[in-house]
Chains A and B, each alone.
Chain A
Amino acid sequence: MTTLFRGRKGPLLWLLAAAALVALLAAACGGDDDSNTPTAAATTATGGSPAASSTAGTIAADVGKNDKADITGAGSTFAAPILQAWFDDYNKLVAKGVKVNYQSIGSGGGVQQYTEKTVDFGASDAPLSDAELAKAPDTLNLPFVLGSVVVTYNLDGVTKPLKFDGATVAKIYLGDIKKWNDPALTALNPGVRLPDKEIVPAYRSDGSGTSFVFTDWLSKVSPDWKSKVGTSKNPSWPAGQGGKGNEGVTTIVKQTPNSIGYVELTYALINKLPFADVKNKSGAFVTPSIETTAAAAAGVQLPADFRVSITDAEGAKAYPIASYVYALIRTSSDGCSKYRPVVNAFWWILHSKDASATASGLNYVPLPPETVAKLDPALKALKCEGQSALPQ
């Protein structure tokens, strides 16, 4: 048992030396980074040169091109791909000194971290509620992109899109409609042979902005749903199976014959899921798309604080399960070093043609210019160190 160390010191020492070297390298890298990437304390954020940015009284989209900052944001999973794509473009094409790190921790988490001030901005599929706003009163709920939720299903032999209305979907998720050949469903889908099989509804088990938008719509179109379940990021579902994330719901629907589920439009398009036409307020069956989602936004007046639901919107072409995605930004900040680059980055997102093109390319719906025009005064009113964050 005498396992003495003597005589075999060689490899051991090598290993120790290697470990020490790794530690030193890591420390050195950290040090290096501090010196040549000005972050935190050393940051001097410039608001862009006035000559370039305020031609003819308007602020250029690339107002933040000379900014330097490392910024962290978190929240909405739905908005993560488009925000990360935007911030990648912004870093490579517009403001080389600005790295905006956005992590998808869910809308609920985004609101939480924003309120705790651990992130420089949050993103959420729903605006702050009154209770949430009470904890963070100086908040700008800034809509920056549109999203919609589609109803997907797994039915053998059904080739063209099914048709649903809100009352029927509510009854399916309440467990009141149990079979596919229910009279309510056959009446909506004349000519489609629906099987005599149990419907398996799939829902999001995690707190989700997608669930919020979906239940918000159901609450508007079904009084029964409103009284029994209501609108929530994490409602208590009366029937069905839960899956985590869009991915979890998709897996259930793909693997379970005769199931039904709801996911983000972007997600359904990428994964080539079938989705239903849904009846809107004016009685038309609308296929979810970039155009019909934009039409839903056009059908609703934007209030002064921008907190608005656009589900079940007016308009013949409006898709009824749509929503704005919001950035959560404080209306004023003591320091400008990280705040101004955030404001400038969102200014670029809302005003740059490149940013709009990126959104469309990823199947996201950029805000129409008329809507952006309504947001501009609120952005110009944002203040840091007692001054306006954007050039006047």
Chain B
Amino acid sequence: MNPRSGASQLFLASEGLYRRRRLANRVMTAVMGIAAAIAVIPLFLILFYLLQKGLRGLSLDLLTQDPNRPGRPGGGVRNSIVGSGIMVGLATAIGVPIAIGCGVFLAEFGQNRAGLVIRFLVDVMAGIPSITVGLFIYGLIVLPQKQFTAFAGAVALAIILLPVVARITEEMVLLVPRSVREAAYALGAPRWKTTLRIVLPTALPGIITGVLLAVSRIAGEAAPLLFTALGNQFNSTNVFHAMDALPLRIFVYAVGPYDYWHEQAWAMSLLLVTIILFISLAVRAIFGSRVTVRQ
């Protein structure tokens, strides 16, 4: 056997192999690319559809007027915007401190059995359907109080926000490098001071990102408010009374009999998506590179 011809045969064989691999590589890249494109197509379709259907109903009145009585076109949804703002703000005020405390505990003091159990429970909590949370708060707060209240709605939203923020806080705190902590210890700082003054501030941008993402999630929830805040066609700022919210009003208007209700439901959906998109973009703009985690 001629070694040269053997080598050239080997070369030819490897050439064929190389070509085949290159082809497979290209085909698979194309398949992944198409999959990625399909994955984001719905987002653009939703945005396009919302713009097409919602722009018509969008007006200054929609933001500044309370609903007209049914059957009389015009009016706005000021009550729903105000209600959403109050309930989401209250839910954030209730949920975020607890969630951050929980996250810090899991990251700093949770490397044991208790931490394992709590981490598991928080994960289970994140999986509870939001309608179930609403029903739970209905039983816990609404039934004993004999009154639908915005407060109950805010508590339901806080429960949905809690596991999201807790887990993100844990991740962010864990990302703080060991060397930073050790530097603090070396300077004689006790553990609590290190956690409070060094670790938390370092992790804060990531935590705030998590909070804002959780806020944009609860801002779009209708299910937990159905049996808690109930809704209100009047503008009410009393948290111990029934209150309206944008997702609730979208739900009511979308299945209602009047055409202008449908139009306003589309406009409200556009408004809600715009607000959520704005929050996401603001997060990126403010925290930029620090949002993305690099190892």
Contact = CB atoms under 8 A, between A and B. Distances in A.
Interface of A: 1-5, 11-12, 15, 19, 22-23, 26, 29-30, 32-34, 37, 39-40, 70, 72, 74, 80-82, 84-85, 87-89, 91, 99, 101-105, 116-119, 244-248, 266-267, 270-271, 361-362
Contacts of B238: 30, 33-34, 37, 39, 70
Given A3-B205, A3-B290, A118-B147, 13 more contacts: A5-B204, A11-B286, A15-B286, A19-B92, A29-B86, A81-B256, A84-B233, A85-B72, A101-B233, A103-B232, A118-B142, A270-B258, A362-B71
A14 B206 CA distance: 16
B14 to A, nearest CB: 40
A75 B204 CA distance: 46
B143 to A, nearest CB: 6
Interface in B251-285: 252, 254-259
B233 A118 contact: no
A325 B239 CA distance: 31
Nearest to A11: B286
Nearest to B254: A247
A32 B70 CA distance: 29
Interface string B233-255: 11011111110000000001011
21 contacts: A1-B175, A1-B295, A2-B180, A26-B85, A26-B93, A29-B237, A30-B86, A39-B240, A39-B241, A72-B147, A81-B257, A81-B258, A85-B71, A99-B234, A101-B236, A104-B252, A118-B146, A118-B148, A246-B255, A247-B256, A362-B70
A266 B70 CA distance: 12
B237 A32 contact: yes
Nearest first, the 9 closest Cβ-Cβ pairs linking A and B are A88-B69, A81-B70, A85-B69, A29-B237, A247-B255, A26-B89, A33-B237, A99-B234, A101-B232
The binding surface of chain A is classed by DSSP as helix
Most chain B beta carbons < 10 A, residue from A1, A22, A30, A40 = A30
B242 A72 contact: yes
A84 B68 CA distance: 10
Given A84-B69, A85-B69, A70 B204 contact: no
B246 to A, nearest CB: 15
Contacts of B231: 101, 103
A22 B89 contact: yes
A315 B290 CA distance: 77
B90 interface: yes
B230 interface: yes
Interface centre among A3, A103, A361 (most CB of B within 10 A): A3
Contacts of B101: none
B202 interface: yes
Contacts of B189: none
Contacts of A270: 257-259
Contacts of A245: 255
B229 to A, nearest CB: 10
Nearest to A104: B252
Contacts of B230: 72, 74, 101, 103, 105
Nearest to B291: A3
Nearest to A363: B71
B148 A246 contact: no
A243 to B, nearest CB: 10
A119 B90 contact: no
Contacts of B16: none
Contacts of A37: 238
With most chain A CB atoms within 10 A of its CB, the pick from B142, B143, B208, B256 is: B256
B113 interface: no
